[in-house]
Amino acid sequence: MKQRFLALAAVFSFAVAALSAPDLSKAIQTLRAVGPEGEGNAAAAKAWQTLTKADAKALPAILAAMDGASPLAANWLRGAVDTIAGRSKTLPVAGLERFLDDKKHNPRARRLAFELIQRVDAKRAEKLIPKMLNDPSVELRRDAVQRLLDAAQDLKKAKKDESAKKEFRQALAAARDIDQIKTITTQLRQLKETVDLPRHFGFLMHWQVIGPFDNSGRQGHAAVYPPEKEVKLDARYRGKTGPVGWSKFVTADEYGMVDINKAYPGMLKEVTAYAYTVYEAAEARDVELRLGCKNAWKIWLNGKLVFERDEYHRGTRIDHYQLKARLRKGPNTLLVKLGQNEQTQPWTKEWRFQLRICDSTGTALLAANRPVTPQQGTDNGGTAPKPRKKN
């Protein structure tokens, strides 16, 4: 990190020298040093005023300062970029394009560089879009996907279905934004094409579930029930209303929703349950666990707690939580704890989650042990456990 910062400082120095403003480098360092809860804000405000006086030629260097910057520092730097660009009659388009081409830079900074190019030279920006189709910046690849999507829709209107299918498929492979994926999926299905959304997203569909355990008074989230100490799929434990054991659950929901209410019918309240699966990784690597859930939850990877949230029914979406983790080569265990509280309003009855594993761009990383074709569950969204006799 120190070497990287020194490299950035060298870039800043070059830009500063060209501007005959030696204090700009110090201003950038001050902004990057802004701490949490406003620590250093007073100094940052002064540094920002200095930075905004820079010539537009310094824009690539200021954008580079966003690499590794905290969100607060990045906001200060972005504000300076906007201010400088807003008052400048010309922008260093060639320098901005070189910055954009370097995929190691901060994705949002690269997107901002593209927008600056687009502002002053729309035709030049238009020519850059096709190269962004598989860009690591999701913010940039969206434009390239949209171009393919528009072309495919034109082909479809012209009744050139086979060509349209090819364009839609290429767009889907690159798409990472939910709205575009839904649009492309609809178009392909209208052309009688099969789209495997669980595979595209990488949702984990095959689980073992156990429950319900007690969550009276919302105490179950902190309570340590047996699955947190061991996972023995043939074991039996004391649950909230009697003995409980592990049962297979395969969701058929194409957005990977694991609906615990389907496993334990009756819209149970003040309960908690666990879901367990094994993910076979082809190699050790850094990943993101992306979760959608509106219940209280905890996630363990290989027995170690990754993160948790003890809150209920605040709304959810795909990839609501993005958790950085590292897989080891071979089998990796994932355990999810899911709580349901005492509220009885209709919007509080959902007891479910969706989980996928991907890289930082949202590209699915499929397990080596993932079935080629996901098994289909029942019409209600999953295969419920078979009834067990009480001991």
| Residues 58-90: tens digit of each pLDDT | 999 999 999 999 989 999 999 999 999 999 999
Which of 62, 107, 98 minimizes the C-alpha distance to 82?
62
Co-location of 165 and 228 in the same domain? no
Q: What is the pLDDT of residue 11?
A: 45
Residues 77, 147 within the same domain? no
Whether residue 50 lies inside any domain: the answer is yes
Q: Would residue 377 count as lying in a domain?
A: no
Region 26-31 average pLDDT: 91
pLDDT at 38 over 90: no
Last residue of a domain, one of 102, 117, 132: 132
Between 34 and 386, the more confident residue is 34
**Pair 351, 235 in one domain:** yes
Q: Is residue 278 part of a domain?
A: yes
- pLDDT computed for residue 25 by the predictor: 87
pLDDT > 90 fraction of the chain, expressed in percent and rounded: 79
Domain boundary among 132, 156, 180: 132
Per the domain annotation, does 379 fall within a domain?
A: no
- Per the structure, the count of domains in the chain is 3
Statement to judge: residues 8 and 104 lie in one domain: yes
The pLDDT of residue 18 is 41
Question: At which of 132, 157, 183 does a domain end?
Answer: 132
Do 113 and 99 sit in the same domain of this protein? yes
* Phi-psi group of 303: left, alpha or beta (phi > 0 → left; psi -120 to 50 → alpha; rest → beta): left
> Is 289 in the same domain as 236?
yes
One domain for residues 83 and 223? no
* Same domain, residue pair 208 and 351: yes
How would you classify residue 138: left for phi > 0, otherwise alpha for psi between -120 and 50, otherwise beta? alpha
Q: Are residues 251 and 162 in the same domain?
A: no
Whether residue 258 sits in one domain with residue 215: yes
Domain that holds residue 25: 2-132
- Over range 264-279, report the average pLDDT: 95
Q: Do 232 and 344 lie in a common domain? A: yes
Does residue 261 fall inside a structural domain? yes
In a domain, 388, yes or no: no
| CATH number for 238 | 2.60.120.380
Q: Is residue 209 part of a domain?
A: yes
Regarding whether 294 and 159 lie in a shared domain, the answer is: no
Task: Note every long-range contact of 382-387, with CB atoms under 8 Å and residues 24 or more positions apart, other chains counting.
Answer: 382/249, 382/250, 382/251, 382/252, 382/253, 382/258, 382/259, 382/262, 382/263, 383/248, 383/249, 383/250, 384/247, 384/249, 384/262, 384/263, 384/265, 385/209, 385/247, 385/248, 385/249, 385/263, 386/247
119: tokens are 């502002």
* Percentage, residues of the chain above pLDDT 70: 88
Residue 229 lies in a domain: yes
pTM score? 0.81
